[in-house]
Structure 1
């Protein structure tokens, strides 16, 4: 088996309209497809990442909140690569997104910052340029 990369990451949200606005307008992801699945009373929104990957945004009735603190087993966070961390932080802060302080990766020297989506999912911007 030869893995070539991550095709998509799936995110379950609490309020579909709020999360859709966040991922589309705040993060600037392009909508690939949007479907309402009547049998599951669930929206599925496919969003394109610039590198060809995707985020699938799902809504399910009565989905329980994600345990983030203290950190639980499982996926820790979703990180996005950016060329200019300062510009990306300024754009998010200008849209009211609360950012943690910028940190330096002790092993690579790269700068990164954490923030959350509307459901508290930890997201990261990681400067790659």
Structure 2
């Protein structure tokens, strides 16, 4: 029945800062942006391969633990062809990236970085 993940939703503490990160730093394409006056909220749809990221803003959203071991969604992962090239690309844009590690099960290389709200994001080499 389930075929693939369609989208992941993220609620930003600072919409403009997160919008800039996802569109200018990560260079994700904007599909659609909507301001919902009745909720004083933005919804920004971003393309990532065949999937989407929905970026939301809400007035005074409650904080949620986002460390990898906190209960709930652990992290969002982006697949890349060349992890060193992707790490250099991010670091050249001022993004701090952890050292590259190797998954002991798949022997694939991966690393983590964070968005403006400290949401853990992963790069995983194809």
Superposed pair shares fold, TM > 0.5? yes
Shift of 1:64: 1.8
In structure 1, the residue matched to 2:19 is 20
Distance 1:22 1:70, change over 3 A: closer
Q: Report how far residue 70 of structure 1 moved.
A: 7.3
Runs of 4+ in structure 1 over 3 Å off: none
Q: Does 2:85 correspond to 1:87? A: yes
Q: Distance in 1 between matches of 2:75 and 2:67?
A: 12
Q: 1:119 and 1:109, CA in 2 relative to 1: closer, same or farther beyond 3 A? A: same
Equivalent pair of 1:82/1:126 in contact (CA under 8 Å): yes
Measured after TM superposition, the shift of residue 28 of structure 1 is: 1.1
Cα separation, 1, equivalents of 2:84 and 2:77: 16
8 Å CA contact retained: 1:66, 1:121: no
The equivalent position to 1:62 in structure 2, one of 60, 63, 85, is 60
The 8 Å contact of residues 43 and 57 in structure 2, kept in 1 or not, is answered as yes
Identify if the C-alpha distance between structure 1 residues 111 and 120 changes in structure 2 by more than 3 Å, giving closer, same or farther. same
- What's the counterpart of residue 117 of structure 2? 119
Point out where structure 2 has 5 or more consecutive residues left out of the alignment: none
Equivalent-residue separation in structure 2 for 1:90 and 1:64 (angstroms) = 33
Give the distance between the partners of 2:110 and 2:63, measured in 1 at CA: 26
Cα distance in structure 2, aligned partners of 1:11 and 1:104: 27
* Partner residue, 2:106: 108
Question: RMSD in angstroms over aligned alpha carbons?
Answer: 1.0
Q: Under a length normalisation based on structure 1, what TM-score does the superposition of the two structures give?
A: 0.94
Instruction: Confirm or deny: 8 A CA contact 2:67 2:74 kept in the other structure.
Output: no
